[in-house]
Amino acid sequence: MTSRPNLPAIAETPWALDAGRVAERELWLLASYAFPSRDSAGRVHPEVEHPYRGPFARDRDRVLHCSAFRRLSGKMQVFTGEMGEYHRTRLTHTFEVASVARTIARALRLNEDLTETLALLHDIGHPPYGHCGEDLLAAAMEGNGGFSHNQFALTIVTELEQRFTDFAGLNLSHEVLGGQDTRAHKAEAAIGRAPLLEVQVVDLADSIAYDSHDVDDALQMGLIDQTELRRLGLIRRALEGVRKKSGELPPSRLRQALVHELVDLQVGDLLWSASETLRACQGLSAEEIRGGGVRLGHSPEVAAERMELESYLFDAVYRHPRLMSVRRAAGDRLRRLFDGLVANPERLPLRFRTRANQVGVWRAVSDYLAGMTDRFCDSQHLLFTQQTAGPLTDW
Ligand code: MG
């Protein structure tokens, strides 16, 4: 019979897991190649340990409780609020990613707290109007340092969020900041030294979630139909799985069953493939895994089918005429606001006028606009174009 570590009885301590117990619990639960809390390099501003939460559980809560996280509820993922009530927002997408990532992390015995934190953080830097907003800001900031939502997420959690009286930012652990930094430099992360497995899992969970829920949303909105989807290998594979589990379903129930199966089969394939990879890594530490360039991924068959699905979604959904017209109008508003504020920085809210003195007008305008929700950006655009003087509102 396996022996268990000696956890204290509840009566001995008011909390079952003090910081030392978190480390002990991880030692018991995590694989050798998971990243344990005890190896954390800490924070820029040292803090005493929390009595019953490990460092990454604290990071997760800091992200969850920050204002930029709440604003995700007002940011579009792919489709705007004008296009219906069914589809995902940036916030619900984030929770779906966290759910998928946590499931994968638990199955692979990786650090769930670290994984969940990275997942909740991963899209926090998205500007309003989805990818259209990001493309527009990237073009507007060309020659002035550019714009990437992954980089802006780091600006939010290290500079713009105010949680402590003595310094700016959330003071997150180095591993969380490093993981997000890896996302901001994906090309470098794809070769040589590999990102932590927890970082890789979030990246994979992100694409599993959006590929599946974009199919769901686009079908529900009638942008695509099931007949054309059946041309795709991954869809056929998922439909076969549905048929085996539930028999023939009416079209009304088929969409949900299909999307559920799409997530399930991709997660299952990833776990199967990752387990094969990690079998050869038993006993290795997270550091050794990174140095060895170990990367998780799908089986070659599913990877090819996912590429086919993503290429289809790009043409049939992300470039759909209904979406393109909404994107163009949103992009025009954002561009007008960007150019107008660069030319009239006195109309920035006080916090961003001050910030312009530190980072320059262009970056301050970009930060101000990127932090907005879709609707808030609409309202400030209206204010800017209808009112000839006075600063706009801070978010
Ligand atoms: Mg995402």
Q: State pLDDT tens for residues 260-308.
A: 999 999 999 999 999 999 999 999 999 999 999 999 999 999 999 999 9
CA distances (Å), origin 102, targets 11, 54, 109, 123, 227: 31, 17, 10, 16, 33
Give distance in angstroms: CA of 122 to centre of ligand 1.
Answer: 6
The pLDDT score that the predictor gives to residue 204 is 97
Give distance in angstroms: CA of 255 to centre of ligand 1.
Answer: 22
Give distance in angstroms: CA of 123 to centre of ligand 1.
Answer: 5
Does position 9 have pLDDT exceeding 80, yes or no?
Answer: no
Q: Of 9-18, 131-140, 383-392, give the range with the top mean pLDDT.
A: 131-140
CA distances (Å), origin 236, targets 5, 242, 317: 47, 10, 19
Give distance in angstroms: CA of 90 to centre of ligand 1.
Answer: 8
The pLDDT score that the predictor gives to residue 8 is 55
**Tokens (6 digits) for 334:** 């954002």
Q: What digits encode the pLDDT tens for the residues 140-167? A: 999 999 999 999 999 999 999 999 999 9
Give distance in angstroms: CA of 70 to centre of ligand 1.
Answer: 15
How sure is the predictor about 14, in pLDDT bands with cuts at 50, 70 and 90?
low
**Tokens (6 digits) for 342:** 């660069």
In-domain check, residue 395: no
The pLDDT score that the predictor gives to residue 318 is 87
Give distance in angstroms: CA of 203 to centre of ligand 1.
Answer: 8
Among 233, 232, 240, 270, residue whose Cα is nearest residue 257: 240
Buried b (16+ CB within 10 A) or exposed e, 158-175: bebbeeeeeeebbbbbeb
Q: What digits encode the pLDDT tens for the residues 29-71? A: 999 999 999 999 999 999 998 888 899 999 999 999 999 999 9
Domain that holds residue 350: 17-386
In-domain check, residue 283: yes
Q: Could you give the percent of the chain with pLDDT greater than 90?
A: 77
Q: What digits encode the pLDDT tens for the residues 208-236? A: 999 999 999 899 888 898 899 999 999 99
Give distance in angstroms: CA of 166 to centre of ligand 1.
Answer: 32
Give distance in angstroms: CA of 133 to centre of ligand 1.
Answer: 15
Does position 11 have pLDDT exceeding 70, yes or no?
Answer: no
Does position 16 have pLDDT exceeding 60, yes or no?
Answer: no
- Cβ atoms 62, 170 nearer than 8 A: yes
Give distance in angstroms: CA of 126 to centre of ligand 1.
Answer: 9
In-domain check, residue 1: no
In-domain check, residue 330: yes
Give distance in angstroms: CA of 200 to centre of ligand 1.
Answer: 13
Give distance in angstroms: CA of 84 to centre of ligand 1.
Answer: 20
The dihedral sign for the CA sequence 113, 116, 120, 123: positive
Q: What digits encode the pLDDT tens for the residues 76-86? A: 877 776 777 78
- Among 33-37, 128-132, 136-140, the least confident range: 128-132
Q: What is the mean pLDDT of residues 106-126?
A: 97
How sure is the predictor about 24, in pLDDT bands with cuts at 50, 70 and 90?
confident
CA distances (Å), origin 352, targets 16, 72, 124, 150: 44, 20, 19, 20
CA–CA dist 122, 124 (Å, integer)? 6
Give distance in angstroms: CA of 153 to centre of ligand 1.
Answer: 12
The pLDDT score that the predictor gives to residue 377 is 95
Give distance in angstroms: CA of 144 to centre of ligand 1.
Answer: 25
pTM over 0.85: yes
Give distance in angstroms: CA of 94 to centre of ligand 1.
Answer: 6
Domain CATH number, residue 90? 1.10.3210.10
Give distance in angstroms: CA of 310 to centre of ligand 1.
Answer: 14
In-domain check, residue 7: no
Q: Exposed/middle/buried for 147, CB within 10 Å: 0-12, 13-18, 19+?
A: buried
The pLDDT score that the predictor gives to residue 22 is 82
In-domain check, residue 376: yes
In-domain check, residue 9: no
Average pLDDT, the chain: 92
Q: pLDDT higher for 89 or 104?
A: 104
CA–CA dist 337, 372 (Å, integer)? 12
Measured between its terminal Cα atoms, the distance across the chain in Å is 57
In-domain check, residue 61: yes
Q: What digits encode the pLDDT tens for the residues 344-366? A: 999 999 999 999 999 999 999 99
The pLDDT score that the predictor gives to residue 310 is 96
Domain count, the chain: 1
Q: What is the mean pLDDT of residues 174-184?
A: 94
